[in-house]
Structures are given as structure tokens and as C-alpha cells.
Structure 1
């Protein structure tokens, strides 16, 4: 190289090629991240659509429509929620017109006399009153809608069950699409995106989704707009952030669509025993979900152990006055993704949830002055030798080792500093016979 007077020529060429290679490699990695994000979100909305479809299947499997009183109550609750939402939009539109008609021009105003100044002041004072009134109207309508929806949206099963029924009553497609499908989808999709170490929001931001979970727009989604179809549509943006390249945002639109199971099921269909000659029908109370499942297990435990149920305070399930034992019952569907992933139980999640239940029970007992039983008998709360018991019902199929359960119980007692706390894990498959 020295003899040919080409000193460093190969080094320069290698440096140029290396830089090009590095930028090319970074570009490929960015494209891979875009593709991976698309796969994650697509999988998540597929699972949401599937879960919604399963809810509709469960609704019919459990013969929900047979209970006319409950059916009418759910329809009324859902109708009220939609009505509040539609009223809210109507109020916004009306107040927008009122505010837009306000004349705030000042070019022609003259302040050459006291009377003119007073007139101008009154004009703007009236405008301020109009704007203030519009704000109050919108705020009142919003609070009314939020109050109606706050409890309703806590249980996805209840929401979907309600809309399965009202879909047959020709509830407006617009209302369902705008006020139910969008928040419902965002509510359910997070659990399919999050990992044990990252929340859904942090994971999406790390992947480059603008605004994380808040950047997922489900406004085009619809639930049972034609009485049978579940359509989940999400729109989101991602940043192209490569050095020396112009920064650009890319918009993606993904869709998952499926049929609600209710379109092909009879209203009174139940889980039928394999032995058709027995004439017996069964339901799985795990399929109810939420508080209803827990209440069913409370009745089962009550009958099995001849326990006395409590009317007041709400939340306390059983009370033994002779032994001063306060008993609380909770349920964990360990087949749900929040407790189980890839066939393996999340023991830490189960432990944290159980600890939450136990801590709440201990705190509630401190506030109890008296206990009123279901039969009307009232007992004053004892301050001596009080015992707290928490029964946690889990799936019978959950493969939890006895030593793991014992470890969870010991950890909870140690962390809560409650040696006298009694924690029982009650196993049940949830299958009960229905009396025809």
C-alpha cells in the first residue's frame, strides 16, 4: 500500500461500508419492531374479540334469558346508560350552537361615553354567563353519564350481557359503537399486552407506539350492531426514529371480527349431562364471573358447613358469635389470563390478590360495631379474641401444590403481621345441578 502510494485507502472504504451497514441494520431492526408491535396488538384484539364472543356464549349457555325479571333489569340499566350517553352528546351539540352564536366582536364598539362603556360591559358579561351556563350544563350531563357508567363498566361480563339483550331490542348502532365498543375494547385489551415486568402502557411506549395505551383508538369498533357481529378496530401511530433519517409517524389500522355465539343458540340451552337418560342439567358458576360467582359459592359453603350469613355489614359473609369468627369469601378464576399463562399459574399474582383480600378483611373488622344476621339477630362486636377467616375459592383444576399454598399463606401472615389470621383455599369445579 505504501509503495503504491495508497495509504489508508482500504481503511476509508471499510469505514464507509461499516457506517452504511450499521444504519441499514438499525433500519431493519426498526422495521422488525414495527412488525412485532403489529403482531402483539393484532393478537390482543383477536383475544378481546374471542373473549367477547365467549361472554355471549356463556350468556346463552346459562339460560340468562329465562329469568324475565333479571333480563328486564339488565335491559333497563343498559338503556339508561345509552340514554345518558346520547343526552351528553346532544347537550354538547346544543351548547356548542349557543356559544357559537355569541357576538364577541369589538371593532365597532365605542367607549366615548359612560353609557357606551356600560353597554359593552353588559354585552361581555352576558356572554360570560352564557358560556358559564353551557359549561355547567355539559358538566352536569357528563357527571350523570359517568355516574351511570362507573359501576356498569366494572364487570365486562355484565356490560356484554346487557348489550346482547338490547341488541335484540334494536338499540341504536351509533350509541353502541361510540359509547360502549370503544371503552370496552380498551378496558379488555390491556391484559393481553402487559407482561409480568411491564404494564401495557410502558410496553407499548417502549415499542414506539405514540402515547402508549392512550394512543390506541377504538372509535371504529362496534358490538352487535347487526345483532350478531363483534368488530374490534384499533388505529395507532408509531414513530420512525432513526439517526440522520427524517422523523416520521406511521399510522396503522388493525381489525378483528367474529360472530357472537348467541345468534345460533337457543334461549333456554344449558350444559347437559353426558348421560342423557338422567334428565339432569348442569351449569358452571365460574362462567358467571365477578360478584355473582362469589355469591353462588357463598351459598354452597353456607349449606355445606351450616354457617350463619350476615346482612350487615355488607362484605362480611359469615359470623360465629360464640367463637367471634368473622368470615369473608372471595373467588379467583385461576383459568383467567391474569392468573395463568401458557398453562402455568402465576403464584405471585395469586398471593398478592389473596393478600389484598386478607388486608381488607382485617381493616373492615376494625370498623365493625355490630353484626346483624340474615335472620335479624343483632350482635355487638367483641373486642376480645376476634378471629378473622378468609376463604378463597379457586378452580379445582388449578395445579397448585399444597406446599405452594402453605408458602403463600405463611408469607401473607408474615407480611400482614397477623398470626391469628386463618386463610383457606377452597377448591371447586363450579359445576352445579339445575332444578328444571
Structure 2
């Protein structure tokens, strides 16, 4: 009987330690699973963002809005961009290589969106999966605020910090804090983002040497456009005046033909006349807010032929009849090597 009692006492003493050992082993497995699952999620998000981040640095601020909207209109992040207020951040901050705040404003919310999708396609599924791994607050329990964009001029670094609860011992022992990092290089040439900066600075000095679309964006910026690039028809709205900013290189052979020139300008005038408000993201202009319409046509500082001048004056009169003020602005030098003979009648 004494032996049996001794065995019972020993079992009673050893059993709690055995249970603790089993629980600890299970918890270590969960730690490993949590680490791998989150690592795969942040790595996938990081890789995906690195592909699109070149849009940020190779384009103007207005193009960034359009680029991010296209990216975020996918099923993954269709409504999340508006919900996180990213568009407001993007419009408020200027585009510059030192613009760390804007990078953070974009990086952290999109990181959350993409990590969530890699975890479970929806917030509820992602939260449930993370809570099953003993992360108390689910997705909200992961902190991405220490993530970095271009800290070295080349990379996106997604930093995820979270805590794991110890099962049955959360009231006694503190949570385990874990930090994981995933990095991916942005494709931006051999010199990184700085090389793109240099190109932008050079292009500013010879705006008429740029291709039509890039030239149009740059001239919009130089003329003070304050609306997103993809806002319909108008580029600037101020004190009740809706202004459309356009540029034409009158040195192009295509515009030596006054019929082509007149048709192009009449098209601009008609679009502006028919404009009665529009919306892009969170920016809305209602027709009742428009008291005056203005068409700003920027042309190079070069000689205008008499035929072109007559056509421009005729279009000024046509615009006036439609309640539009057409202003011709000669600015920003002229093209070094005119592409003679090229039909260049595309919008810009």
C-alpha cells in the first residue's frame, strides 16, 4: 500500500510539470507558426508594393494619385483606400524625395490592407486566424508604424511588431513581444530613387523636349494645377473659376495646318463648355460652384506664323461666345529638335 501511495504522490507531483511541458511545447509550435504565417504575409505585401512604388518616384504628384487609384481599385483594396483617407494624404503632401511623411502615410495603411489579404481575404478571417495564434487583438494587434520607405534610397522595409499571449498564464507572465522585418528593393535603376530625381530636374529645364503626356503634366504643375491629374476636364479650381490647362507645341508640322490647330482648340473649348462639375476620389466640384471658366493654352516661346495667329484669335472669339476665357501663354522656352513631319495631335 505504501508503494502504491508513493507512486500516486509522485504522479501527482510530476503531472503538473508534464502538463506545463506539453503546453510549452504546443506554444512554441504556435510561435513558429505565427512567425512563418506573418513572415509570408509581410513578405508578400512588401514584394507587391515594391512593384508599384516606382509609380511614386517616376511621376508627378497628380500621376501618383491616378497610379495608386488604379492599383487600389483591384479587388484587394477597392474600398480601403477611401476608408484609410490615403487620397487626402496624397493630395496634401507634395512629391519630393525628402517627403518621408507622405511615404509613411501611404506605406502603413497599404501594408495593413495587403497583409490582411495575405492572411485571409477579409478582416474577420485575418483576425480569427491571428487570434487562434494567440495574438490578442488580431490584425489590430500588429504594429506597422516602424516600417520604412527608402531609408537607404532603394528599399521598402515592412516592420511588424506584435505580442503573443502565453496560454493559461497570461495573468501571471507577460506577453512575448516579437518583431519581424521584410524588405524588398524598389526598381529604380542603378542609382536608386535619386537617379529619378535627377531626370525630373533636367526635364524641368527643357519641358518642350518631353513627350506630350509628360510635358502636359509638367506644365500643369508649373501653371499651378491643384486638382488630381485624372480629374475630368479641369486642372485648377480657385474662387469659383474652373480652369483647364493645355499645352500645344506650335512648332510641330501638325499644327502648321490651321485646320488641325482649330479643331484641337475647339475640342478643348467644347469639353470645357460642357463641364458641369466632376469628382475624383474625395475631391468634388459641383456645377453650382462654377462661376467662370478659363482655358489656359501654353505654347513655346517661338515665332507664331500669321496663319496660326489668326486661328488663335478666332478661337479666342469662339471661346468668348461660349462663356470661356481663352488665354494664350508663351512660356518655358522652346523645343531643341522639332519633330518635323510627325502627326502629334494627341491630347496632353
So what's the TM-score if we normalise by structure 2? 0.43
